[in-house]
Structure 1
Amino acid sequence: ACLPSIESFHAVAAADNGVIHGTAIKTFVNLGTMGTDAVGEVEHILGDNGIDVFDCPITGGTQRAWDKTITAIASGPQEVFERVQPLIKAFAGEIHYIGDKVGQAQVAKIVNNMMSITNLASCIEGVVLGAKAGIDVEKLLAVINSGSGQNSASLTKVPRHVMNRKFDLGGPMYISQKDVTLWRSEAERLGVTQWVGNTVHHLVMQACAMGYGPGDMTEIAKVVEQMSDVEIPKTRN
């Protein structure tokens, strides 16, 4: 199951019509980003009913999912991994088995998502600053992408989904809100500093408060633009 919220994850697993009541199911594979608490709770609930839970969040974006080249991050008992691996191979281009405990893959996925959102936010802030300074933003991106500032946001997300003003990456802002909130929960649980994470969390929460929750995550650009009193010019179709 790959579900958009912790509430729907719990419902599919353990509600009145959830998989917990299935008579044939032996293994429940979670493909979503739910955090260690939620996955641990479902593992306990389903485990008491003889159903194994395997943790396997996916990453790579919508297009790679359609292309069956998505990356799967797997964790759970080795014997369960061997059982479900053929299923995962049917839709994933890469599988990274990182540990034998359910929840370890959640931590890895949350780290990945937080870094992805942070890259996007920092790239957008940089481009907005350049635009306000009167720099040609296409030339600025060329500098970034040939230098040490290069990242996935500067290479693809900003040029393909912000510079054309379409804001159509395909990831809803409310999903980013869930991800940055899960980051804070995991960081607090493990006692890890959140200097950068807190700032990105604040930006995403601000975007949702301004009404961008249902919109695309690249609309973070609109928040930065409004607060900076400048707009990134449309340079691509």
Structure 2
Amino acid sequence: MKNTRIGFIGLGNMGYHMATHLANNEHSLVIYDVRREVLDSFEQDVQAEDILKAHSPQEVADEAEIILASLPTPQVVREVVLGERGVIHGKKVKTYIDLSTSGQKVTSEVGLALQGRGITMLDSPVSGGVPGAQKGSLSLMVAGSREAYERSLTLLEHIGKKIFYVGDEVGQAQVIKVINNLLSSAALAITSEAMVLGVKAGLDPNIMIDILNASSGRNSATEDKFKKSIINRRFDYGFKTDLAYKDIKFCLDLADDLEVPMWLGSQVEHFWRFAMSQGAKNQDYTTIIRYFEQWAGVQVGNEIDQKS
């Protein structure tokens, strides 16, 4: 596969690092992003000899049989694939691997349209955030043709360490991904609330996190986010509030479609909607602890606390 040119569309916080891992593993790339300066920066940073910079998704699909894409919203996914200069019009593409979290509806729509043109789609959202993308240690959930999955596995292993084949129906990986993200955002919110309570009662936040991580209260927020991005007040985890809310909404919308009551999930969605209404949309999603801090009149950690 190293003799085959790989396409990569979307060099954002996640995609930039994933494409870097592919280049560092000696893959020839053709890349595209709406920001030309990002393409130039990537070429300079990676310093690989065989990188082409395309001017549209279609140009990527004219050059590469296999394309990976990491895109922010379902609207962007639809435009990149089905738009006037979209992937679907490419002359060479045979396999399209979507690493985005786009929800089941759009993913299924795009997969069906590509199938009509003889292009195989793998639905492969990722988990692990920017740190996982940087380390090449993401978790990948993959749905679609098992043959295409097995054919692409070596490629996916360059960007992820834990890869799960979910099933042969495009869109199934989106289901588990939005369920995962609902749980992740719920953990961040409830842990923020609990940490504020502990600090208000006089506890050291670093000691709290150490105890929680050695006890049954541990979760993705205690294990990963608090010491890296919250207690030190950096708020730089690399995932914006609007993207977190988007994924929560995908999960709640899916539950509505399937007539599954989400008593607690609905309360999580209400809180994140509140954060959006207060101007947190473009802020790192770890900043949501500030609302709990304001209500309680305390602060969890400080800028000079650099414990990790």
Q: TM-score, normalised by structure 2?
A: 0.73
Unaligned runs of 5+ in 1: none
Gapped runs of 5+ residues in structure 2? 1-68
Given that 2:100 and 2:125 are in contact with CA atoms closer than 8 Å, whether structure 1 keeps it comes out as: yes
* Equivalence map 1:73-84=2 (5 Å): 73-84=141-152
| Per-residue deviation, 1:193 | 2.2
Counterpart for residue 243 of structure 2: 175
Q: Which residue does 1:3 correspond to in 2? A: 71
The alignment covers a number of residue pairs equal to 237
After TM superposition, give the deviation of residue 77 of structure 1 in Å: 1.7
Which structure has more helix as a fraction of its residues?
A: 1
Using the alignment, how far apart are the partners of 2:163 and 2:301 within structure 1?
Answer: 39
* 1:236 lines up with 2:305 in the alignment: yes
Match of residue 86, structure 2, among 18, 24, 44: 18
Query: Aligned residue for 2:17?
Result: none
CA distance in 2, matches of 1:165, 1:91: 29
Equivalent in the alignment of 1:56? 124
Q: Does the aligned pair in 1 maintain the 2:240–2:281 contact within 8 Å?
A: yes
Larger RCO of the pair (alpha carbons < 8 Å, separation 6+): 1
**1:206 aligned residue:** 274
Instruction: Tell me what 1:86 maps to.
Output: 154
Matched, 1:225 2:293: yes
Indicate the SS of the match to 1:53. Answer: strand
Aligned to 1:74, the other structure's residue is in SS state strand
Please list the CA deviations of residues 25-68 of structure 1 after superposition, one character each: whole Å capped at 9, or x if unmatched: 11111111111101011112222222111111111121221222
Aligned-partner SS, 1:207: helix
Q: Does 1:148 align with 2:216?
A: yes
CA distance in 2, matches of 1:84, 1:141: 39
Q: Which runs of 4+ in 1 moved over 6 A?
A: none
**Which amino acid in the other structure matches residue 224 of structure 1?**
F
Q: Conserved in 2, the CA contact under 8 Å of 1:167 and 1:219?
A: yes
TM-score (structure 1 length as normaliser): 0.94
User: Using the alignment, how far apart are the partners of 1:70 and 1:30 within structure 2?
Assistant: 14
Contact 2:235–2:287 (8 Å) recurs in 1: yes
Which range moves more in the overlay, 119-128 or 46-55? 46-55
**SS at 1:180 equivalent:** helix
